[in-house]
Amino acid sequence: MHMSRVWGVILVIISLGYSQNSEKFSYALQQQVNDISGEKSLFVWVFFKDKGIDLGEKLAIAEQNLLPKARERRKRHFKSESGLVDFHDLPVSKSYLQKLSEVSLEIRQKSRWLNAVSVEVARDNLHQIATLSFVRYLDLVFIKDEPIPVVDFSAAVSPDVPENTEVLNYGESLEQNQQINVISLHNMGYDGSGVLIAMLDAGFNNLEHQALKHLNILASWDFVNGDSVVWDEPGQMGTGNHGTWTLSALAGFKDGFLIGPAYGADFLLAKTENTDWERHVEEDAWIAGAEWADSLGADIISSSLGYFNGFTNGDTNYTWQDMDGNTTIVTRGADMAAGRGILVVNSAGNEGFPYLPVENTLIGPADGDSVLAIGSVRSDGTRSSFSSMGPTVDGRIKPDVMARGSQTFCASVSDTVSYSRVSGTSLSCPLVAGAAALVLQVNPNFTNMDIIHALHNTASQASNPNNQYGWGIIDAFQAASPITAVQTSQPEIIRTLRIYGNYPNPFNPTTTITFDVPSAGYLNLSVYNLVGEQVTELIRGWTEGGTHNVTWNASNLSSGMYLIVLENAQNRTISKALLVK
């Protein structure tokens, strides 16, 4: 992106700042407050300043209460036997919730990761919430309430079974498995056993389908309607066809008809999408589903959902400038999941080519720097025209990798014996998630980032990644091989100035900023507040090329959003950090 255009974006961000009318209202919330009448309700995130008292005791209890599967994943991720939990794992303070409930509102979801609750509240009650001493700030909920569009080309296919020499008979799902080279792993006996996959989707109808009856579903929860039933129920909101397609592509098994990459894995099914409307009300449900999956020990989250535009009723869309890995709240939640060792696999989007080369067509959370974003190819390996493209606003290549998303073979929702062909990155995503489960089964010590590197390094365009194909079509067999395990420890070629963000984020009071420098030269790394004032300078001077980590101590600053600006003689890039005290 051109330097002057990037700086223009920075100025726009800085010029917004926080509302002058209420220091605890975000700019977007203040605009809504100014535009609506007092009795109208808003969907709002309420962020708290802390998690109450006795944090040491609470941390000890949280670590003690980790379920075995969650403990195993975190030990693998952190490479440690202790220190497996942090501030973000503590529940929201019960006393804060009690005091908040005295205001007339409806609490919809609680997020320990964000230390926040999403509420439905009348405009006139917002100022009462803002006066509470433990409330840090309030912001609008931003979300697109619609799964990625798919096209059902055949409601009831009776497949002709091709002859093949494989151990299993894949029927019409043979090509989509061959393309990503999972059949060699199946022939060796790998099927995803022992790997726990959480599916976040719009519900799961027709679990009695002949290709789904074998599944080992450990738990399910409907975060839209608040019960454990994740298929359609009379009088409830949302339909579950989309989840049926994605689940069957990942793990279906009916010999001679449909076989998914990880048909032997264990599953958590979460309904987080409501297909009845398009309003800013469901990002909290996605994050709640991810936290639920974390607590139950999920190794992988497969999410064929996306948040970008298409809102109605006056709700504000996201823009391509928001796809920077830090802005959308769902991306922050996805990166938080990744920070706990979960591999988050998400559809890149069905937005196609950008209008201008400088733009992107990504959807959140596919823009996350720790999220494996999946694009779509056809049966011949060429990119599907609808498949979303990067780069992210901060210059990272997206999508990450590709699999078949054009006319992917999956279970039908019409009855228990029919099959369909469905298109969208919604279908390429579960194929990659299933392949990733095989990689983890073969390499049980792999972290989520090890799996990402293995899939990158062995994909069809690993030597020349770009923003149409990412690193290319995956090769599950090669990614799972022991040779790849060695390759993943080697650094990637650094091609551009890049900030990976900071961790933890939100933080208090220290955080580590990770960034890439393509070659030695003059470098400046500074932090600004939202009114454009430089609050600290972390680096100024000659810096060697490579990947660097810098610790920022913000103990002298107040809570709020800050801009981390990294620049050399050629480029400038920005990341956002949230300080929570």
Model pLDDT for residues 472-515, shown as the tens digit of each residue: 999 999 999 854 433 433 344 455 778 877 778 778 898 889 88
Is there a single domain that holds both residue 244 and residue 308?
A: yes
Q: What is the pLDDT of residues 103-149, one digit of tens each?
A: 988 888 899 998 999 999 998 899 899 999 999 989 887 644 334 44
- Residue 188's contacts (CB-CB under 8 Å, 6 or more residues apart) are none
Give the range of the structural domain holding residue 374, as residue numbers without chain letter: 151-487
Do residues 167 and 382 touch, judged by C-beta distance below 8 A? no
Please say if the pLDDT value at position 281 is more than 80: no
Give the DSSP letter string of 351-367: --S-SSTT-----BTTT
Residue 40 binned pLDDT confidence (cut-offs 50, 70, 90): confident
Is there a single domain that holds both residue 385 and residue 285?
A: yes
Q: What is the pLDDT of residue 276?
A: 60
Q: What is the pLDDT of residues 543-566, one digit of tens each?
A: 888 888 899 999 999 888 888 988
CA distance linking residue 67 with residue 436, whole number of Å: 23
Please say if the pLDDT value at position 54 is more than 60: yes
Q: What is the CATH number of the domain that holds 269?
A: 3.40.50.200
In a domain, 493, yes or no: no
Q: What is the pLDDT of residues 151-189, one digit of tens each?
A: 444 433 333 433 445 789 999 999 999 999 999 999 989
438: Cα within 13 Å, side-chain hemisphere:
33
In a domain, 63, yes or no: no
Q: Is 199 helix (H, G, I), strand (E, B) or coil?
A: strand
Q: How many domains does the chain have?
A: 3
**Of the residues 438, 467, 487, the one at which a domain ends:** 487
Q: What is the pLDDT of residue 312?
A: 54
- Residue 113's contacts (CB-CB under 8 Å, 6 or more residues apart) are 88, 287, 290, 291, 333, 336, 337
The amino acid occupying position 139 is D
Q: What is the pLDDT of residue 310?
A: 64
Is there a single domain that holds both residue 270 and residue 306?
A: yes
Encode 104-168 in three state secondary structure: CEEEEEEECCCCEEEEEEEHHHHHHHHCCCCEEEEEECCCCCCECCCEECCCCECCCCCCCCCCC
Q: Containing H/E element for 58? A: helix 55-64
CA distance linking residue 347 with residue 128, whole number of Å: 40
Q: What is the pLDDT of residue 468?
A: 96
Is there a single domain that holds both residue 115 and residue 219?
A: no
Averaged confidence pLDDT in the chain: 85
Q: Is 173 helix (H, G, I), strand (E, B) or coil?
A: helix
Q: What is the CATH number of the domain that holds 551?
A: 2.60.40.3080
Higher pLDDT, 461 or 565: 461
Q: Residue holding tokens 């391509």?
A: 320
Please say if the pLDDT value at position 3 is more than 50: no
Please say if the pLDDT value at position 38 is more than 90: no
Instruction: Report DSSP state, residue 172.
Output: G
Is there a single domain that holds both residue 482 and residue 574?
A: no
Do residues 549 and 571 touch, judged by C-beta distance below 8 A? no
